[in-house]
Amino acid sequence: VSRFEGIAMAPPDPILGVSEAFRADTDAKKLNLGVGAYRTEELQPYVLDVVKKAENLMLERGENKEYLSIEGLAAFNKVTAELLFGADNPVIKQQRVATVQGLSGTGSLRLAAALIERYFPGAQVLISSPTWGNHKNIFNDARVPWSEYRYYDPKTVGLDFEGMISDIKAAPEGSFILLHGCAHNPTGIDPTPEQWEKIADVIQEKNHIPFFDVAYQGFASGSLDADASSVRLFAARGMELLIAQSYSKNLGLYAERIGAINVVCSSADAAARVKSQLKRIARPMYSNPPVHGARIVANVVGDPALFNEWKEEMEMMAGRIKNVRQKLFDSLSARDKSGKDWSFILKQIGMFSFTGLNKTQSDNMTNKWHVYMTKDGRISLAGLSLAKCEYLADAIIDSFH
């Protein structure tokens, strides 16, 4: 008797499945605006120059392949926390941050979810509506209950700030509030600094625990410090908080799976204990993390020349996406006769634009125009070139009407 016979075929992933469909399309006009992966103006994947330089350095050194410790490469854990908070931040000086290298952003979120499940039974995580599609999968599989707070307002194509605040206020005391540090996915809409202050106020009032997902630090605005300002605002208030990091986008290390989970505690002693429990969760999950990506990050940030060159490359990537936003906006405004306001394209930040196209309209983008995007109406501008903006504008205008 076959035991596996009864297992059904899983549906394709809403984001990564789009790339599979794109690859199967043979039409030369096809455009992959699905997965949030940076492409050059020639629509090619991009390995940053500093990554190549760091790897050459590493090759010359001839490093070994010994296991890392469960918490990961110490040099990486040091620089990743310093990048996030700033090296002179009190949370760093007072050693109140438990940092564990994770399997990129996803693995770091999963480690944090396992910690929540183990030490905060019954606590729920509030996630934005909409949010990155995999957030729900991570908490479901980690058996952590979640609910949504209002975030996107289709009427204003902006942030439903009142709704967000009232939903966070209404949540049971001690809930975890999942926040996108910068470049909200999929909407591209971030709170203003004043709004972040109010979000911190309501989270403090309700004794909630802020839980940041920082997947785009430096990639959204081009500045590492600007993109970390929301996290630093909460840390400056002396709050305990969790922050998951990823180097997939800002250092282009997608397939190296390098990220970290940071837990800001109220004392160094608590941080040491939290770190020990994160290690206890990681050991049976994957034992210890991959070394290559961690060494690249440590080498790039540890060398002043490479670090500065990295900052220049991030500004270049962020700048290219800003130029594409402007060109798409201009193309839409020039071609659309309906008088629709396309300014949301310019107001949104990061690699995504939330177009407002519904599922049927998104299907039309793919079936008729060979434009691949996620069914929630998100397009990744990182996959768009200036040369293709007019074609995309035609597709969007055709699909809206």
For binding to ligand PLA (CB under 6 A), which residues are involved? 15, 35-36, 104-106, 132, 134, 180, 185, 213, 215, 246, 248, 254, 259
Residue from 167, 213, 227, 376 carrying the catalytic annotation: 213
Quote the CA–CA distance of 111 and 255 in Å, as a whole number: 19
Q: Is 213 a catalytic residue?
A: yes
- Closest to ligand PLA by CB, 17 vs 356, is 17
- Closest to ligand PLA by CB, 13 vs 330, is 13
Torsion 259-264-267-270 (CA) sign: negative
DSSP letter (8 states) at residue 386: G
Residue 244 phi/psi, 5° resolution?
A: -95, 135
Residue from 132, 146, 310, 342 carrying the catalytic annotation: 132
In the complex, what is the shortest distance from the CB of residue 317 to ligand PLA, in angstroms, rounded to a whole number? 13
- Closest to ligand PLA by CB, 228 vs 271, is 228
In the complex, what is the shortest distance from the CB of residue 249 to ligand PLA, in angstroms, rounded to a whole number? 6
- Closest to ligand PLA by CB, 35 vs 203, is 35
Contact 112, 242 (CB under 8 A): yes
In the complex, what is the shortest distance from the CB of residue 125 to ligand PLA, in angstroms, rounded to a whole number? 14
Q: Is 30 a catalytic residue?
A: no
Residue type, 42: E
Cα–Cα–Cα angle for 10, 354, 314, rounded to 5 degrees:
95
Residue from 53, 249, 275, 388 carrying the catalytic annotation: 249
Rounded to a whole number of angstroms, the distance between the first and last alpha carbons of the chain is: 54
Contact 107, 259 (CB under 8 A): yes
In the complex, what is the shortest distance from the CB of residue 144 to ligand PLA, in angstroms, rounded to a whole number? 16
In the complex, what is the shortest distance from the CB of residue 198 to ligand PLA, in angstroms, rounded to a whole number? 22
- Closest to ligand PLA by CB, 180 vs 327, is 180
Quote the CA–CA distance of 129 and 394 in Å, as a whole number: 29
Closest CA to 125 of 96, 148, 156: 148
C-alpha dihedral, 149 to 263 to 232 to 238, nearest 10°: 90
Q: Which residues are catalytic?
A: 132, 213, 249
